[in-house]
Amino acid sequence: MLVAKSGRQALSIVHEQSVDLILLDVVMPELDGFSVMKQLKSNVNSQNIPVIFITGLESSKDETYGFELGAVDYIHKPFNSSVVLARVSSQLKIIQQRNDLQQLSEELKQASEAKGMFLANMSHEIRTPLTTIIGYAESMLSQNIPKNEWTDAVNIIDNSGKHLLSLVNNILDFSKIEAGELSIELIDVELDSLLQQVHVICEQQAHKKHLNIHWRFNGKIPRRIKTDPTRLKQILINLISNGIKFTEQGSVTIVVSALNEQLHFEIKDTGIGIPNDKLSSLFNSFTQVDNSTSRKYGGTGLGLSISCRLAKELGGQIAVESQVNEGSTFSVFIDLINQAPGETFDQLNSDTNHQASQQTQQVFKGKVLIAEDHPENRQLFSLNLSALGFEVNAVDNGEKAVQACISDDYQLVLLDIQMPVMNGIEAQQLIRSCGLDMPIIALTANVMKDEIDSYLAAGFTDHLAKPLDQEQLLTKLNKYCDNDVSTQQDVAIPQHLLDELRQKFKQSFAQYTIELQTAVKQRDTKTLASLAHKFQGAAKSFGFTEEAKVAELLERYIQDSNNNISQTSQQLINLLNNE
């Protein structure tokens, strides 16, 4: 508490020191309280300091004048100490609330700016691979690229499509985390095999930049652990990829240790490093080191935030140390749960590329049923499974699927959820009511946790998301089907068949546009929702990413009775007409 004996001294103190609240006597020598108040309010540094007048005057006119000058309260002499304390306490609380609101406002402003930058980055990140995909696809269709170069062009399209899918997955993961719906599945995992998969994926990225990836193991590492393999791979791939992205010369080294019931990974790069003042905000959502980083290296600012949250879900954390122009070290800790004693390893299998190649050459045996109402999607799924060795029967609605299951034996059944005549949920229930217990997988473009949980609760054995991810498909097939290890064959789908399917799907846009326009005109939201759902799955499968996104948005708007239904429908129609 500071005390002044005159108005001038009070002004001097306020000018030199920070003051939260002023108790100001009205009657003082040289400069009265009203004059002091005027000077306080005329100075930008003091004009917002609350002032309580102290007075023995009983004039209501003086009191009114004081309030007009900006006083927040009056205390009358003689003092009642409890009243004085109450009024001062009240004003201090108001001051604290005001400061909290100002801080919150600043935080919201910073968050808004970060999200604005995120949206700008995301737009750039999406448009870049889309430009590549559309450019190469149109050049191939118009025969501007010689056919002997089509394989390279398709590889470029495939890589760009996978990059787009990773962006979408990041956004979905972030939304699940924010909603508290992120699912973690702890299962027994062969850690050496998981790390080999991570190495193969990241080595391709490093090779393009002429960088090396080194693995070091401190002591013996448990071979079998219990964790979520998908999430652990996601963390490691993200951090190693970041190290490669921000390194122009040198290498990325991963050091693996098992310490104090935790698994420890150190990802060390020799890249550009991170300034000390940026380290504290590095794991915030939508945040990158600076705008120039986004422009030069790309990225959305979600990867580290998601990885940090995933590490916490696995019982650990992520830390970082860095020196500008020398490199960064990201440390990942996760809990070691139920590791099998005695089974350890201290190096990766040197033949990882061969193992990865063998995985893509898996051949299965048995008969599979697919129920999918979209014709091009149905053909694409059939080609995928036939190439893997299955005998495939494909039907276009749930009723036919039930009939097929009754009349024949299937090792696996894939049911689309939304189909005409009978949907996937009804078909699955009828199949089960007939006493059939083969695995039945829900095939769906819906990937939110509550939707997936509802399918599992309805009796489905598992689910697969559209578009089909080859690695996820193989994981499910290995889980539920017999692998014919005695046979090896080329499982690649001929490119000309994929091209024909995509072209057939594109040719259906005209009829689809007519159906959309009719549903909008008749305000038939049920048909509109069905059209949007049916279209988006196939659009994702054949690389029409922007159209799929708008169709997905349209379906959600219909479910939420949003006023943007007509506008979004027209947006989708315009996209189709421009194809």
Which pLDDT tens digit goes with each residue over 43-80?
888 888 888 888 877 777 878 888 888 888 888 887 77
d(CA 73, CA 561): 50
CATH code, 187-358:
3.30.565.10
d(CA 516, CA 505): 16
**The pairing of beta strand 212-218 with beta strand 327-335:** unpaired
Q: What is the pLDDT of residue 355?
A: 38
Are the beta carbons of 328 and 203 closer than 8 angstroms?
no
* Cβ atoms < 10 Å from Cβ of 151: 10
pLDDT more than 70, % of the chain: 84
Instruction: Give the mean pLDDT of 130-143.
Output: 81
Q: What is the pLDDT of residue 100?
A: 81
The two three-digit tokens of residue 250, written as one number:
């040198």
Q: Which amino acid is at 226?
A: K
- How many residues in the chain? 579
In this model, does residue 487 exceed pLDDT 50?
Answer: no
pTM above 0.75, yes or no: no
Are the beta carbons of 37 and 14 closer than 8 angstroms?
no
Higher pLDDT, 574 or 371: 371
Q: What sign has the CA pseudo-torsion 491, 494, 499, 504?
A: negative
Task: Band the pLDDT of 515: cuts 50, 70, 90.
Answer: confident
Q: What is the pLDDT of residue 268?
A: 93
Task: Band the pLDDT of 297: cuts 50, 70, 90.
Answer: very low
d(CA 283, CA 242): 13
* Residue carrying structure tokens 């309805």: 458
Give the rounded distance of the alpha carbon of 196 from its chain centre.
25
What is the average pLDDT score of the chain? 80
pLDDT in tens, 232-268: 988 898 899 888 888 888 889 999 998 878 899 999 9
**Bridge partners of residue 322, in order along the sequence:** 328
Identify the H or E element spanning 415: strand 412-416
Instruction: Give the mean pLDDT of 133-148.
Output: 82
CATH code, 360-486:
3.40.50.2300
In this model, does residue 178 exceed pLDDT 70?
Answer: no
d(CA 486, CA 351): 21
Task: Band the pLDDT of 123: cuts 50, 70, 90.
Answer: low
Q: What is the pLDDT of residue 426?
A: 93
In this model, does residue 319 exceed pLDDT 50?
Answer: yes
CATH architecture of 7-79: 3-Layer(aba) Sandwich (3.40)
The ranges of the chain annotated as CATH 1.10.287.130 are 101-178
Higher pLDDT, 147 or 516: 516
What is the torsion angle, in degrees rounded to the nearest 10, for the CA atoms of residue 423, residue 426, residue 432 and residue 434?
-100
In this model, does residue 286 exceed pLDDT 60?
Answer: no
**The pairing of beta strand 482-483 with beta strand 364-365:** antiparallel
In this model, does residue 215 exceed pLDDT 80?
Answer: yes
Cα angle 307, 313, 314; round to 5? 90
In this model, does residue 107 exceed pLDDT 90?
Answer: no
Q: What is the pLDDT of residue 122?
A: 62
Q: Which amino acid is at 427?
A: A
Q: In angstroms, what CA-CA distances link 503 with 137, 154, 506, 548?
A: 11, 15, 5, 16
d(CA 229, CA 75): 68
Are the beta carbons of 371 and 395 closer than 8 angstroms?
yes
Higher pLDDT, 495 or 244: 244
Are the beta carbons of 565 and 524 closer than 8 angstroms?
no
Task: Band the pLDDT of 292: cuts 50, 70, 90.
Answer: very low
- Locate the DSSP E strands across 145-287: 187-190, 212-218, 221-222, 224-227, 251-259, 262-269
d(CA 284, CA 57): 56
What DSSP assignment string belongs to 115-136? HHHHHHHHHHHHHHHHHHHHHH
d(CA 562, CA 528): 13
Give the rounded distance of the alpha carbon of 221 from its chain centre.
31
Are the beta carbons of 70 and 41 closer than 8 angstroms?
yes
**Bridge partners of residue 464, in order along the sequence:** 443
Cα angle 23, 28, 32; round to 5? 80
* Cβ atoms < 10 Å from Cβ of 465: 18
Cis ω before 275 (30° cut-off from 0): no
148: CB partners within 8 A, 6+ apart: none
**The pairing of beta strand 327-335 with beta strand 262-269:** antiparallel
What is the torsion angle, in degrees rounded to the nearest 10, for the CA atoms of residue 115, residue 120, residue 122 and residue 126?
160
Higher pLDDT, 282 or 290: 282
Q: Of the ranges 81-85, 257-261, 338-342, 554-558, which one carries the lowest mean pLDDT score?
A: 338-342
Give the rounded distance of the alpha carbon of 280 from its chain centre.
21
Does residue 399 sit in helix, strand or coil? Answer: helix
Could you say which DSSP state residue 148 is in?
A: G
Question: Is 101-178 a domain of CATH 3.40.50.300?
Answer: no
Instruction: Give the mean pLDDT of 389-413.
Output: 92
**The pairing of beta strand 224-227 with beta strand 391-395:** unpaired
Are the beta carbons of 194 and 233 closer than 8 angstroms?
yes
Are the beta carbons of 428 and 460 closer than 8 angstroms?
yes
The ranges of the chain annotated as CATH 3.30.565.10 are 187-358
Higher pLDDT, 394 or 9: 394
Identify the H or E element spanning 368: strand 367-371
Are the beta carbons of 12 and 2 closer than 8 angstroms?
no
Q: What is the pLDDT of residue 353?
A: 39
Higher pLDDT, 467 or 316: 316
Q: What is the pLDDT of residue 19?
A: 82
The ranges of the chain annotated as CATH 3.40.50.2300 are 7-79, 360-486
Cα angle 139, 143, 145; round to 5? 60
Instruction: Give the mean pLDDT of 411-438.
Output: 91
d(CA 65, CA 14): 22
Q: In angstroms, what CA-CA distances link 347 with 254, 257, 258, 334, 463?
A: 12, 12, 14, 20, 35
In this model, does residue 392 exceed pLDDT 70?
Answer: yes
